[in-house]
């Protein structure tokens, strides 16, 4: 097999018991037909296949990670109007008594006693409120890209599990088909043994290989159950909802060059766009820290009323918050903002290089897998199938030993499995490229 696996599913024990009870037939039976191309994928007969776009839409609506990131973005969009709004005006009521602490003492006989009504407003230095609003908008933009990054990550996990599930079901189909073929070969060996032209060791070897195929099928079944659980988690489905049955694996063409994908990664990668928003935010934070060196203001107006025989007073007050001690706070704040800006720029460069590396890596993996698939389809599998077919005829004519025939059969089985594993690698690489670049690469299934 092409990969190692863990413990056996309980179904394996049942399958092994079935093998143990197989009785060899009395007459030789030649295999009815044999393929010269990779075994073609077909929808799972156990249920209707669900297209991948349908599952992606369900994940958008139901996945809790996507919904949480979406709500965080929506919440962040409400901050800008809050921080850019001026402070509320303050209403003041004053009562000034003369000659006695009693309220309104001297109000009717002294022009110093009065009842005052005023309003005051704090006025930040021009541009500060606007900068705070712009910083909040950059935070909202970063939250928007975090949401998109989470969404693409979940969709990539969904696509990978979906493709893996399609691969597992195809492997089960291969093992079942080749198991039937191996059973027919075992019948030929048994027939030869009965007429004295073979030996019992050949029969036992054929049954042992058949047992291995059943064991591997059981392992694939176990992985199938694990993938179904993973898909339920990503789709937020309950245990009572139906399983997912994928459409067959098909090769999706890679229609973009590496340079085009690198450009799209730089423009549309959500991690990079989020870091760009952070760089913009930190740049505005530096500008705001510089403006905090400038004073804020206060404007107050008051009307003071005395008795009717006296004239009213009108008081306008303009105050300035002197930044005498502000340098102790603002200079470190400006230095901190500048360092944060430099750090965010370096983070952007690091993420850009990481995105470029992953895009190149996945591109060449997809290209290499496509070349391997073409070699398997056009050369290795047809040649191995022809060799097995010729060997089977030679074995029936007593011109080839059973060990050589069995090895040629195992070569065909191994190449078929490797073909589908290469196809899985190809489609998985395209799914990762979709997450990195934002372009649609997987063929609709």
Domains in the chain, please, with CATH?
46-437 (1.20.1600.10)
Q: Where are the beta strands (DSSP E) in 264-399?
A: 297-305, 313-320
Task: Label residue 127 left, alpha or beta by phi (over 0 means left) and psi (-120 to 50 means alpha).
Answer: left
Q: Which long-range contacts (CB under 8 A, 24 or more apart) does 16-22 make?
A: 16/211, 16/214, 16/215, 18/214, 19/207, 19/210, 19/211, 19/214, 22/183, 22/207, 22/210
**SS3 category, 268:** helix
Task: Label residue 128 left, alpha or beta by phi (over 0 means left) and psi (-120 to 50 means alpha).
Answer: alpha
Task: Give the pLDDT confidence score for residue 248 in this predicted structure.
Answer: 87
**SS3 category, 389:** helix
> Bridge partners of 301?
119, 316
Task: Give the pLDDT confidence score for residue 309 in this predicted structure.
Answer: 82
**Do residues 250 and 43 lie in contact, with contact meaning Cβ atoms separated by under 8 Å?**
no
Comparing C-alpha atoms, which of 135, 142, 29, 148 is closest to residue 83?
A: 135
Instruction: Compute the distance between CA of residue 252 and CA of residue 373 in angstroms, rounded to an integer.
Output: 12
> Bridge partners of 123?
297
Strand order of the β-sheet with 114-123 is 90-96, 114-123, 297-305, 313-320
Task: Give the pLDDT confidence score for residue 33 in this predicted structure.
Answer: 45
**Do residues 47 and 99 lie in contact, with contact meaning Cβ atoms separated by under 8 Å?**
no
Instruction: Compute the distance between CA of residue 290 and CA of residue 287 in angstroms, rounded to an integer.
Output: 5
Q: What DSSP assignment string belongs to 127-146?
A: THHHHHHHHHHHHHHHHHHH
pLDDT tens-digit series, residues 207-233: 777 778 788 788 888 888 888 889 999
Comparing C-alpha atoms, which of 144, 108, 138, 169 is closest to residue 307?
A: 108
Instruction: Compute the distance between CA of residue 46 and CA of residue 304 in angstroms, rounded to an integer.
Output: 88
Using alpha carbons only, how large is the chain's radius of gyration in Å? 38
Sign of CA dihedral 183, 188, 193, 194: positive
**Do residues 119 and 294 lie in contact, with contact meaning Cβ atoms separated by under 8 Å?**
no
Residues 310, 312, 316: CA angle, nearest 5 degrees:
150
Task: Label residue 318 left, alpha or beta by phi (over 0 means left) and psi (-120 to 50 means alpha).
Answer: beta
pTM over 0.85: no
Count of Cβ atoms closer than 10 Å to residue 359 Cβ: 22
Helix pair angle (258-268, 327-375), 10° resolution: 150
> Bridge partners of 2?
none
Containing H/E element for 342? helix 327-375
Identify the residue whose tokens are 């009323």. 305
**Which stretches of the chain drop beneath a pLDDT of 70?**
1-47, 192-193, 195-202, 326, 397, 400, 443-445
Question: Strand 313-320 relative to strand 90-96: parallel, antiparallel, unpaired?
Answer: unpaired
Identify the residue whose tokens are 């037939």. 25
Containing H/E element for 373? helix 327-375
Comparing C-alpha atoms, which of 1, 341, 42, 322 is closest to residue 173?
A: 42
**Do residues 316 and 134 lie in contact, with contact meaning Cβ atoms separated by under 8 Å?**
no
Comparing C-alpha atoms, which of 444, 251, 445, 437 is closest to residue 362?
A: 437
């Amino acid at each position: 097999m092409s990969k190692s696996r863990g413990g056996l599913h309980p179904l394996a024990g049942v399958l092994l018991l079935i093998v143990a009870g197989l009785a060899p037939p009395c007459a030789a039976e030649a295999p009815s037909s044999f393929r010269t191309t990779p075994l073609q994928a077909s929808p799972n007969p156990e249920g209707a296949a669900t297209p991948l776009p349908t599952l992606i839409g369900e994940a958008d609506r139901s996945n809790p990670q996507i919904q949480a990131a979406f709500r965080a973005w929506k919440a962040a969009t409400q901050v800008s109007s809050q921080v850019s709004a001026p402070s509320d005006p303050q209403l003041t009521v004053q009562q000034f008594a003369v000659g006695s602490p009693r309220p309104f003492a001297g109000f009717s006989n002294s022009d110093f006693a009065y009842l005052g009504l005023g309003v005051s407003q704090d006025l930040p230095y021009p541009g500060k409120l606007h900068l705070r609003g712009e910083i909040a908008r950059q935070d909202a933009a970063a939250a928007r890209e975090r949401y998109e990054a989470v969404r693409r990550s979940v969709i990539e996990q969904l696509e990978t599990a979906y493709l893996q599930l399609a691969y597992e079901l195809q492997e089960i189909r291969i093992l079942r088909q080749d198991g039937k073929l191996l059973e027919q070969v075992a019948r030929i060996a048994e027939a030869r043994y009965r007429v004295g032209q073979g030996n019992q060791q050949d029969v036992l070897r054929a049954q042992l290989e058949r047992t291995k195929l059943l064991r591997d099928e059981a392992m694939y079944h176990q992985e199938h159950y694990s993938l179904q659980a993973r898909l339920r988690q990503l789709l937020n489905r309950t245990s009572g909802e139906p399983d997912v049955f994928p459409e067959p694996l098909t090769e999706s063409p890679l229609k973009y060059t590496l340079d085009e994908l690198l450009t799209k990664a730089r423009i549309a990668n959500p991690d990079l766009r989020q870091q760009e928003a952070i760089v913009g935010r930190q740049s505005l934070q530096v500008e705001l820290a510089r403006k905090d060196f400038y004073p804020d203001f206060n404007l107050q107006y008051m009307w003071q009323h005395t008795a009717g025989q006296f004239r009213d007073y009108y008081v306008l007050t303009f105050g300035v918050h002197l930044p005498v001690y502000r340098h102790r706070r603002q200079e470190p704040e400006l230095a901190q903002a500048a360092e944060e800006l430099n750090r965010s720029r370096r983070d952007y460069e690091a993420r850009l290089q990481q995105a470029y590396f992953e895009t190149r890596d996945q591109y060449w993996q997809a290209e290499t897998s496509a070349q391997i698939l073409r070699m398997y389809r056009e050369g290795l599998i047809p040649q191995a199938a022809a060799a097995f077919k010729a060997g089977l005829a030679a074995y029936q004519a007593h011109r080839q030993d059973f060990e050589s025939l069995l090895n040629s059969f195992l070569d065909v089985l191994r190449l078929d499995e490797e073909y589908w594993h290469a196809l899985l690698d190809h489609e998985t690489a395209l799914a990762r490229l979709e997450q990195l670049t934002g372009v649609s690469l997987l063929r609709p299934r």
